[in-house]
Amino acid sequence: EAADRAVALAAAWHLDPDLLVPHAGDSATTAAARQQLAQTYAALHAAVDAYDAARTEATKAAARADAAAKALVAARAAATKAAADYERERALFVSAIDQGYVSSSVGALGMILSADTDEDLVTGMVVLEQLSSTQSNVVVDAEKARKRLEWATVAVGNADLAARTELAAARTALAAA
């Protein structure tokens, strides 16, 4: 903070331009001093401009680092949701498979041989078809959840790398300022 005040004071300070030009009655020492003063004044402006540019870059880098950190938080939240979705779909898949083994252990052939009436046969075949369709849907949903989890995991890795890169850039820019 004190350094910022010193830079602000230096930036606000203006030299009387009359001190920078040679005058008719100047001695060689005074003329050399005026020349040295002009060079120092120009160097001061260059230093203040460089400081302003570095400070601006540091501020931008800090904003990029903040955005990258927020993206990382969002990616982690998406990965957590994808993991929960995957677990839910996997549990449903396991449940459907278990139910299929329990309810249809005799299979289609057993259904044909054990049906007492045509209506029992049709009802049993419809149940088997619906169970098969449900199992198929569960498998597809579980696979989609697995893929979403993979993508979310990759996104977390990418966001983490971006956040670390932007943070390093912000620290470098801040150190330069």
Q: How far apart are CA 82 and CA 60, in angstroms?
A: 33
Higher-confidence residue: 12 or 82?
82
Q: Which pTM value belongs to this model?
A: 0.51
pLDDT of 33 strictly over 90: yes
Whether pLDDT at 106 is above 70: no
Average pLDDT, the chain: 79
Supply the pLDDT for residue 62: 80
Angle at 34 between CA 29 and CA 36, to 5 degrees: 90
Q: For residue 43, is pLDDT > 60? A: yes
**Residue of 127 and 33 predicted with greater confidence:** 33
